[in-house]
Structure 1
Amino acid sequence: MTRTTGNTLNRRHFMAGSISGASLIALHPFTANAASNQAHLRIMETTDLHVHVHPYDYYSDRPVDTVGLARTASHIRTIRAEAANSLLLDNGDFLQGNPMGDYIAYERGMKEGDMHPVITAMNAVGFDATTLGNHEFNYGLDFLMKSLAGANFPVLSANVVKEAAASATKDVTLVKPYVLLDRELTDGSGTKHRIKIGLIGFVPPQIMSWDRRHLEGNVIARDIVATAKAYVPQMKEEGADIIIALSHSGIGSAKMTDMMENASVPLAQIDGIDAILTGHSHLPFPGPAFKDMAGVDAEKGTIHGKPAVMGGFWGSHLGVIDLMLTYEGGEWRVLGHESALRPISKRNEDRSITALVDSDAEVLASVQKEHDETLAYVRRAVGKTDTPLHSYFALVADDPSVQIVSIAQKWYIEQMLKGTEHEGLPILSAAAPFKAGGRGGPEYYTDVPVGDVAIKNVADLYLYPNTARAVRITGKQLKGWLERSAGMFNQIEAGKPDQILLNPSFPSYNFDVIDGVQYQIDLTQPSRFAPKGELVDEAATRIVNLTYNGQPVTDEMEFIVATNNYRAGGGGSFPGAMGDTVVFEAPDTNRDVIVRYIVEQGTISPQADANWTFAPMPGTSVLFDTGPKAADYADKVPGVTIEPVGEQPDGFARFRIQL
């Protein structure tokens, strides 16, 4: 196995903030208290960077304080100065995930010798190694390998195989499965000792489904735990003193199953692995998200007693594992350990954000050119729309801004479920309006005119960085889901004019419209659910005439519903979407899905098809408030007659619907 050598752990110019020059920085107790033959090794982790180098949200086209390797780099400088020995590792998903990644892949491209900007930034920071994440494969193998060619550090993945053998250790892998770093550690007395640090990388085997079109016939993916069991003894035989697993895999079940996506807990049980770097789930560890999980100590940051971290995502945190090592009888062993996180920002009680570190100027400068090019990219069209994409009437009628989200989600999930046991089931799509006035005020609406659609417009269509999900539900659950959404409306008395339609305590993001079926909402009936999802009247039925392809939906029918991780995981408490019906967890954000759909279509035509309407109520009218610009579109809403009533004191405009 090829070995990467170096004089000391602190070997690149970025690491110039050495201990001798950092008198104002307190040493970590492991370094301050290390005895002769004891050495403090500080392991730093970034994970799921997703091309976030500058602290900038390209979708909303504004600076932000919550993301960016340039911010994390400031922590890295400080942390290196706090320890005698340090190692900086990345845990994958660095190549794709924001418009800069798409710009490089779809616009500029990668030729032999080109430098990918995230690799340039990682070189500037001085990473010692990384592993492949699942998103590294999104643009294809040719793009991936050209991008990796510029890395000044090893890129690892033990379970992605080009040529499979009877034994995993005989496989021909796409990149190096592992590496042994020959390094020097300085102990408490100042004496230097040689050490071989073994690093091995893993990626979810689900890449074969997520990126089938790029990978099928070119590589295979092996089980993470089985691969580790094969390679770790070999690494020990080759002289690895300690082994760190770069597990681009979440912290999930402690029960081992074949081809687990989130395999870090059983992985930690393998003899010979001393520390686990995790990722993929976009959650900080140590942290409360993992409380009470088997084998996991969410406060101490251990998995089966071994130190572990997950450094958030997009550069939001730096994960830090401190190892106190002792050298006895010619062998290194772990004497003690700590796990912690260094966030780059904090959220205040008033929901404002305070930056905790400044950006590192060297890292910003390393990709300034590509940053500027990406800004030009997000500000220009990636497609066109022949229909205005506005949300002024999204709460009272089928709506184009919700329609485009539904169409894109359905298009994506259809591709993802091909070849699975769920292929062939009817695929529906659930989407809700996000910008729909309310507390956001009379200007808080989506409004993209006919013509060019820029990437930053997608942020107007989809505000949140959710990831796509698919659930498998029954017709009974489908009806319950729609009943939950129908809580948006007040109960209306038949034959009475000008009643207020919308319940102000019901948030618009919980008003799911489900595309692919047809239904009516009977406003004379009480709501089955309270605004927060509590069941208040099990017999209440507002959803009537629910059909699929012209036939009534029965309780026993089965459907796939494309949605997002928030809803599928129980967000909003919707029947059929409580976390137990998920059949597909996508690696892509809903925003990315929408962008890809627009790019592929060229021109989109998300005509609202009035698949849902209010049940007729002769002699009855209702009132609702929306943005004043809604007047431009009031006579073009399908399935409903809307007329203006007048301006309101709070800046909203009031409209009437004749039911």
Structure 2
Amino acid sequence: MRTPSSIAAKATAGQSHLRILQTTDLHAQVLPFDYYTDRQVEGTGLARTASLIAAARAEAQTCLLLDNGDFLQGSAMGDYIAYDRGLNMGDLHPIIAAMNTLGYDAATLGNHEFNYGIPFMMAAIGASNFPFVSANTLTKRGATVQEDERLLPPYVLLDRMVQDGTGKQSPIRIGVLGLLPPQIVTWDEAHLRDRIFSRDMVETAAALIPEMRQAGADIIVVLAHTGIGEAAHDIDMENAAIPLAQLPGIDALILGHTHLVFPSPYFEQTAGVDLAAGTIAGTPAVMAGFWGSHLGIIDLLLEQQDGRWRVAASRSEARPIALRDPETAARRPLVKSAQPVLRAVQGAHLATLNYMRSPVGETLKPIHSYFAMIHDCQSLQIVCHAQSAFVAERLKGTVWADLPLLAAAAPFKAGGRAGPDHFTDIPAGPLYQRSVADLYCFPNTICALHLRGHELVEWLERSASAFHRITPGQSDQPLLDEAFPSYNFDVIFGLTYEIDPSQPARYSADHRLIDSAARRVHNLCYNGKPLDLDAEFIVATNNYRSSTQSAFNSFIKTEAVLQASVTIRTIIYNYICRNGPLNLVPQPNWRLRTFPDTSYCFDCSPRALPLAAQLPGLTLEPMGSTPDGFVRFRISA
């Protein structure tokens, strides 16, 4: 057992210690198990985090356990419950069963809670033993924050007792406010249109904090499902941690959404951050990674002044459930899974395993996504083939049937923050339900958009922002911008084109136009001829991209000609069943421009080492392992 925190040890007469524990972005990852590869993994799972929770509670007299959202979607178990077993009001979702076991005090919603629709979400949280709050998830937007009507209460007031350095007990009222990105109305437009509205997080918090004080809150904790982004407030910004931290009246700020860890060296160059204390703009803050990888802890030393509690000192930390072995780069667990959590989800786990192990077809060749960010990718082309076949069938007999049909897809599993095991890797041989889920791990539904050639150019230019600008003639330059998530790197199948990373990016990683003269996409062709910028096309894609295209890019005015409730995973399943055994030959789609005497660096899984020599048009040379378990490759012509 750890010793009590230094904050607790400092408490004297009139001073008390309050510990806040945080989980965030659990994404229904309860067990340390990867259903896509059918094996145990060491760095994920609330069952492991539960052991850290028990230890942290044992070190403090008064603890709050809070979850910061994105708990419902993101694992095969979560999808199985949503799409195959179903959930009625009163049923116990396995992630809620696990959280009930751990005795959470409160939680807020994240953006992914809405992926399965409002009825499913409400059925899941309706069985919780703890309150959910969300101040800017609105059923009707009023003229002011106070006049908004909400899906859930905006905050909860928790009455607890704290103990001072002499052992004296005193009452304290803790207000917990919930916030999420207002972009939910765009990201899940199909589920939320005309039903749910949103409001800026900073505006909402600024209006409600005084109300919470008037209601008797001594300490205010903000559960903000948002990351650390720009310092200046911009209306409806997605990652608003710094502007929130600058608001008066917030005593502790709980963060998430971006799957990062705070405090950590990742933020050492961020203005206003004190990593030693774990503060942002002087406000105690914490962000506990994702999938249960860490337990966030904020220790507050409280003292009474003029009859009110105030924070005299604080300390934040994020405790990991596993560490990488420096010699093997394998994750080494620091704690065991908590048995009560394992028991709570055992039935759902076994049912998920049985479902994921169901056979669906066969592939004659292995399928992987190791090089999807630098080259044509077979795994994406399977998705595009399936999407195109479905859309073509649905558009038969319509005015759109004779237009050229393209398909867009992005690599969802391409390493990045999720680590070197986060790639699609399906060996030749039988295909199972887990193989389909490995190819497409999100619950997106099918859509088709009517676009013109110039709009396709803008779409691809946004994807091309995934790369750092490189300088011809220099060696070993980092290629991928880690701020750009791979799920936004769309390739458009049916076109051929080249991306030149030596040119400035037209768009930023967060989709803002930053250089209207910049162009990275070259030699863009359809059927071997230069793309006609006025030509009309149909693009098979998903509901998320359909909703976000216009929101991300003012140059694109989307017109959806097909919106169906069928998930793309179901479409891939049916495609495999009709076209098996799969023997897909990769077709030329896009390439990365290379230059003489120039090399790029690219991090990938160690499992990619035997495959690197098979990549046509590029030379990949292993450079060794990185501290986080990737293998770094040198890319040259």
Q: Given the two structures, how large is their TM-score scaled by the length of structure 2? A: 0.69
Return the offset for 1:168.
Answer: 1.6
User: What residue in structure 1 maps to residue 204 of structure 2?
Assistant: 227
Could you say which residue in structure 2 is the equivalent of 1:55? 32
* Among candidates 348, 351, 364, match of residue 373 of structure 1: 351
> 2 CA distance for matches of 1:364 and 1:253?
40
Contact 1:91 1:133 in 2 (8 A): yes
What letter matches 2:525 in structure 1? T
* Partner AA of 1:86 in structure 2: C
What residue number does 2:287 align with? 310
Paired residues of 1:516 and 1:548 also in contact (CA < 8 A): no
Q: State the shift of 1:446 in Å.
A: 3.9
How far residue 185 of structure 1 moved from its aligned partner, in angstroms, is: 0.7
Q: How far 1:404 sits from its partner (Å)? A: 1.5
Code of the aligned partner of 1:209: T
> Residues 41 and 324 of structure 1 are in contact (CA less than 8 Å); yes or no, is this contact kept in structure 2?
yes
Structure 2 SS opposite 1:136: helix
For 1:47 and 1:168, the matched residues in 2 are separated by 26
Q: Check the 8 A contact 2:229/2:241 in 1, yes or no.
A: yes
Aligned to 1:503: none
Comparing 210-219 and 296-305, the one that deviates more: 296-305
Letter matched to residue 455 of structure 1: R
Contact 2:7 2:314 in 1 (8 A): no
Distance 1:545 1:359, change over 3 A: closer
Indicate yes or no: 2:430 matched with 1:455.
no
Match of 1:182 among 145, 159, 174: 159
Distance change in 2, residues 1:251/1:398 (3 Å): closer
Task: Tell me the equivalent position of 1:125.
Answer: 102
- Aligned in 2, Cα 1:248/1:316: closer, same or farther, shift over 3 Å? same
Amino acid at match of 1:375: L
Say whether residues 1:243 and 2:217 are aligned partners: no
Q: Does structure 1 retain, via aligned residues, the 8 Å contact 2:412–2:440? A: no
- Alignment partner, residue 569 of structure 2: 595
2:254 matches 1:277: yes
Match of 1:347, as an amino acid?
Answer: R
Identity of matched residues, %: 43
CA pair 74-582 structure 1, distance change in 2 beyond 3 A = farther
Cα root mean square deviation, aligned: 4.8
Residue 355 (structure 1) aligns with: 333
Q: Using the alignment, how far apart are the partners of 1:213 and 1:145 within structure 2? A: 17
2:303 maps to which residue? 326
Shift of 1:57: 1.0
Q: Which residue of 1 aligns with 2:400?
A: none
Match of 1:94 among 34, 47, 71: 71
Is the CA contact (8 Å cut-off) linking 2:18 and 2:60 kept in structure 1? yes
Question: Following superposition of structure 1 onto structure 2, how do residues 602-641 of structure 1 map, counting pairs within 5 Å?
Answer: 603=577, 608=585, 610-611=587-588
The whole-number CA distance in structure 2 between the counterparts of 1:613 and 1:135 is: 31
Shift in Å, 1:229: 1.3
Query: For residues 104-119 of structure 1, what are the structure 2 equivalents within 5 Å?
Result: 104-119=81-96
Alignment of 1:8-27 (within 5 A): 25-27=2-4
Residues 406 and 492 in structure 2, CA contact (< 8 A), matched pair in contact too: no
**Match for residue 287 of structure 1?**
264
Aligned to 2:221, what secondary structure does the other structure show? strand
Deviation, 1:270, is 1.3
Structure 1 position 545, deviation (Å)? 7.2
d(CA) in 2 for partners of 1:153, 1:260: 29
Superposition deviation, residue 602 in structure 1: 7.8
Asked if 2 retains the 8 angstrom alpha-carbon contact of 1:58 and 1:378, the reply is yes
Write the letter of the residue equivalent to 1:71.
R
Partner of 2:476: none
The residue number in structure 2 matching 1:540 is: none
Contact 2:463–2:490, Cα closer than 8 Å, also in 1: no
Partner in structure 1 of residue 114 of structure 2: 137
Q: Distance in 1 between matches of 2:464 and 2:236?
A: 32
Count of residue correspondences = 505
Q: Deviations over 1:120-156 (max 9, x none)?
A: 1101111100000111111111111111111111101
Task: Give 1:179 deviation, angstroms.
Answer: 0.6
Shift of the 27–407 alpha-carbon distance from structure 1 to 2, 3 Å rule, reads: same
2:369–2:378 CA contact under 8 A, matched in 1:
no
Structure 1 residues 84 and 149: CA distance shift in structure 2, 3 A: same
Q: Structure 1 length normalisation: TM-score? A: 0.66
Q: Report SS of the residue matched to 1:318.
A: strand
Query: Deviation string for 1:481-535 (max 9, x for gaps)?
Result: 79x9xxxxxxxxxxxxxxxxxxxxx99x9xx9954345599xxxxx9999xxxxx
Q: Which amino acid aligns with 2:154?
A: P
CA distance in 1, matches of 2:243, 2:408: 36
Q: What amino acid is the match of 1:322? A: D
| Structure 1 contact 55–70 (Cα < 8 Å) conserved | yes
Report the residue type matching 1:352 in the other structure. A
**Are the counterparts in 1 of residues 94 and 345 from structure 2 also a CA contact under 8 Å?**
yes
**Counterparts of 1:601 and 1:45, CA distance in 2:** 42
Instruction: Report how far residue 216 of structure 1 moved.
Output: 0.8
Q: Judging changes above 3 Å, is the alpha-carbon distance between structure 1 residues 49 and 608 closer, same or farther for their aligned structure 2 residues?
A: same
1:221 & 1:199 partners in 2: Cα distance?
Answer: 19
C-alpha distance in structure 2 between counterparts of 1:267 and 1:411, whole Å:
46
Cα distance in structure 2, aligned partners of 1:215 and 1:77? 38
Once the 2 structures are TM-superposed, how far is the Cα of residue 29 of structure 1 from its aligned partner? 2.3
2:404 corresponds to 1:404: no
Structure 1 pair 372–292 and aligned structure 2 pair: CA distance change class (3 A) = same
Cα deviation, residue 217, structure 1 = 1.3
Residues 398/190 of structure 1: CA separation in 2 closer, same or farther (3 Å cut): closer
**Cα shift at 1:176:** 1.0
**DSSP-derived class of the 1:175 partner:** coil
CA distance in 2, matches of 1:232, 1:479: 38
Contact 1:473 1:558 in 2 (8 A): no
Find the aligned partners of 2:307 and 2:200 in 1 and give their Cα distance.
Answer: 34
1:296 and 2:270 matched: no
Q: Distance in 1 between matches of 2:405 and 2:147?
A: 41
Partners of 2:64 and 2:102 in 1: how far apart? Answer: 12
- C-alpha contact (below 8 Å) 1:473/1:560 kept by paired residues: no
Q: Which deviates the most, 163-172 or 250-259?
A: 163-172
Deviations 1:595-654 (A, max 9, x none): 36535868565865845599xxxxxxxxxxxx9xx9xxxxxxxxxxxxxxxxxxxxxxxx
CA distance in 2, matches of 1:149, 1:256: 34
What does the per-residue CA deviation read over 1:44-82, in whole Å, with 9 as the maximum and x for residues that have no partner?
A: 100001111111111111111101111111111111111
Rounded to whole Å, the distance in 1 between the matches of 2:522 and 2:147 is 61
Residue aligning to 2:174: 197
Q: Deviations over 1:185-218 (max 9, x none)?
A: 1111111111110000001111111111111111
Conserved? CA contact 1:161–1:173, under 8 Å: yes
Q: CA deviation at 1:472?
A: 8.4
1:552 aligns with 2:530: yes
Shift of 1:275: 0.8
In 1: Cα distance, 2:199 partner to 2:105 partner: 25
Residues 302-348 of structure 1: CA deviation (Å, up to 9, x unaligned): 11111100000000000100000002332100000001111000012
Structure 2's unaligned 5+ residue stretches are 391-403, 443-453, 468-478, 481-485, 503-520, 542-551, 557-565, 592-607, 612-637
1:373 positional shift: 0.9
**One-letter identity of the residue aligned with 1:548:** Y
Deviation digits for residues 214-234 of structure 1 (CA, Å, limit 9, x no counterpart): 111111111111111111110
- Unpaired runs of 5+ residues, structure 1, are 1-23, 413-423, 465-470, 485-505, 522-526, 531-542, 564-578, 584-591, 615-626, 631-659
Pairwise CA distance, 1:83: 1.4
